[in-house]
Amino acid sequence: MKQFGRILVVDDNVDILTSARLLLKKHYSLIKTTDDPHQIEELIAQFEFDVILLDMNFTQDAISGQEGFSWLKTILTIDPSIVVIMMTAYADIKLAVDAIKAGASDFITKPWQNDEILASMAAAFQHSKSKKTVDVLTRKTQGLSQAMLGNNQPFIGQSDVMTQVFNTIEKAAKTDANILITGESGTGKELVARAIHQASLRADKTLINVDMGAISESLFESELFGHKKGAFTDAKSDRIGRFELAKGGSLFLDELANLPISQQAKLLTALQNREITPVGSMKSISIDIRLISATNDNLNEAVKNGRFRQDLLYRINTIEIRLPPLRERKEDIPLLINHYLKHFCQKYNRKLIINASDRQRLSRYQWPGNVRELCHTIERAVILTDGDILDISSIITLPLKSDSPQQESAQTTFNLDKVEQLTIANALDHFKGNVSKAAKALGLTRGALYRRLEKYDL
């Protein structure tokens, strides 16, 4: 019974091609032959072969096999999943070893025994199936990783402090140095971790995220290092730990300060030795990960208070990246407002604009929840707004006065433009951004007020 399989035989001897075709067509669904290796690329594109039986010498009197090595390299460059069996009438042990090293799966001599070539072909198809399975899993892993990373959460900022952050990320990402990201909740520590991974040499591998605050102390070793079946009561099967899952990629330990002091030594040992031992196993596993950690805690204070090991802190923060709170980079707020307004308008199929006064009010707000709070605020406003202008009054209460202690009041300045600007700003604050009511109170038309809003960039 024939099995599904696409085979290409490449040899300059027509008798060899005929013999191979007659033998193999009894067992496989598609057999193609050619005496011209220059047709290989075109044939691969047309038929997507699983296995190629490739001669090593095509030039008359050539016996070195170098032609075959050259075409082998071409085939594997075109499609690494193709399995290649090399064949030659001038075989020796060294040539066979060199062929395997170059990427061939097997090496046979001509003339062959039918049983020999059928056995070699059967093994080649098993190899092909394995390579294709690995390729599919790799693509799925990369796709999952990309989906986890997301494309709609860019890291935005043009302030001086954020420019410094971007510069540090760019320099650090190209290395395998351990990185510690610090900052208040909502400042975007996970986005920094993703940006580092995407800019690193490990970008084609997986980024594994571990929330240390969500792991109980009893399950710490199982989650990070894995376990063997029967290692404890609920261990009904083997489990791969996060370190092993992140092999070749990056491991992001979020909220690291939540790790109990009793478990910190185990993490330190794993990082120092570059190996882990699953619970219930006697065999160590080498780890190849890039470590990125994050916390909103002050680890130096935690060290002083005995809550965090100093040697572990030294190990994880080869490079430290501090993310400033939003109140320290207010010039970035308009950029963030524009981004999230556009994003959520697309998400909810809305067409909204934000007036200048509301933009100013949002820019003066302290944002204790940082970028996360701003994001959720804009989303709620987009959902709840009835008209075409974003209504923020129903979802957030902003302070009436500027946060700057240097702000002048209308009573302490005699500059007419400044007095007008402050008066308009106070009117907008008083009426919670309602332009119609503010214009009426100021004795202006809406059009006149809008012109002044543009003039003073309010």
Please write down the HEC assignment for all residues of 292-321: EEEECCCHHHHHHCCCCCHHHHHHHCCEEE
Residue 167's pLDDT is 93
Tell me the mean pLDDT in the region 407-415.
Answer: 51
In terms of pLDDT, which residue wins out, 311 or 451? Answer: 311
Cis before 111 (ω within 30): yes
Q: Say yes or no: 306 and 375 in one domain.
A: no
User: Which uninterrupted H or E stretch holds 227?
Assistant: strand 226-227
| pLDDT tens for each residue of 20-31 | 999 998 888 899
Q: Say yes or no: 167 and 303 in one domain.
A: yes
Of the residues 399, 425, 449, the one at which a domain ends: 399
- How much of the chain, in percent, has pLDDT values that exceed 70? 86
Residue 101 lies in a domain: yes
Of the residues 118, 135, 152, the one at which a domain ends: 135
Residue 250 lies in a domain: yes
DSSP assignment letter at 159: S
Residue 145 lies in a domain: no
Residue 411 lies in a domain: yes
Q: Say yes or no: 437 and 341 in one domain.
A: no
Residue 152 lies in a domain: no
Q: How far is CA 306 from CA 175, 254, 264, 299, 357, in A?
A: 31, 20, 12, 10, 49
From CA 275, how far away is CA 266, in angstroms rounded?
11
User: Which uninterrupted H or E stretch holds 207?
Assistant: strand 207-211
Q: Say yes or no: 228 and 334 in one domain.
A: no
Residue 217's pLDDT is 79
- CATH number of the domain residue 411 falls in: 1.10.10
Residue 142 lies in a domain: no
Residue bearing tokens 């067992």: 27
Q: Say yes or no: 311 and 337 in one domain.
A: no
Torsion of CA 157, 163, 167, 169, to 10 degrees: -40
From CA 227, how far away is CA 218, in angstroms rounded?
13
Contact yes or no for 326/370 (Cβ under 8 A): yes
- Which ranges of 287-401 does DSSP label H, i.e. alpha helix? 299-304, 310-316, 333-347, 356-364, 370-384
Residue 287 lies in a domain: yes
Q: Say yes or no: 298 and 332 in one domain.
A: no
Q: Say yes or no: 332 and 356 in one domain.
A: yes
DSSP assignment letter at 256: G
Residue 336's pLDDT is 93
Binning pLDDT at 50, 70 and 90, where does residue 458 land? low
- CATH number of the domain residue 388 falls in: 1.10.8.60
| pLDDT tens for each residue of 59-115 | 654 456 678 888 888 888 888 888 999 887 766 667 767 778 788 888 888 888 888
From CA 143, how far away is CA 384, in angstroms rounded?
34
Residue 410's pLDDT is 44
Q: Say yes or no: 179 and 220 in one domain.
A: yes
Binning pLDDT at 50, 70 and 90, where does residue 150 land? very low
Say whether pLDDT at 12 is over 90: no
Decide: residue 224, CB within 10 A, 0-12 exposed, 13-18 middle, 19+ buried.
buried
Residue 406's pLDDT is 40
Residue 170's pLDDT is 92
| pLDDT tens for each residue of 315-344 | 999 999 999 999 999 999 999 999 999 999
Residue 254's pLDDT is 93
Number of domains in the chain: 4
Residue 444's pLDDT is 80
Residue 456 belongs to domain spanning? 400-458
- CATH number of the domain residue 277 falls in: 3.40.50.300
- How much of the chain, in percent, has pLDDT values that exceed 90? 37
Residues in the chain: 458
The answer to which of 140-144, 251-255, 336-340, 393-397 has the lowest mean pLDDT is 140-144
Q: Do the strands 250-254 and 275-276 form a parallel or antiparallel pair, or are they unpaired?
A: unpaired
Residue 402's pLDDT is 42
Residue 143's pLDDT is 47
Tell me the mean pLDDT in the region 4-16.
Answer: 89
Contact yes or no for 348/382 (Cβ under 8 A): yes
Residue 1's pLDDT is 66
Binning pLDDT at 50, 70 and 90, where does residue 152 land? very low
Q: Say yes or no: 392 and 404 in one domain.
A: no
Tell me the mean pLDDT in the region 390-417.
Answer: 56
The answer to which of 37-41, 85-89, 197-201 has the lowest mean pLDDT is 85-89
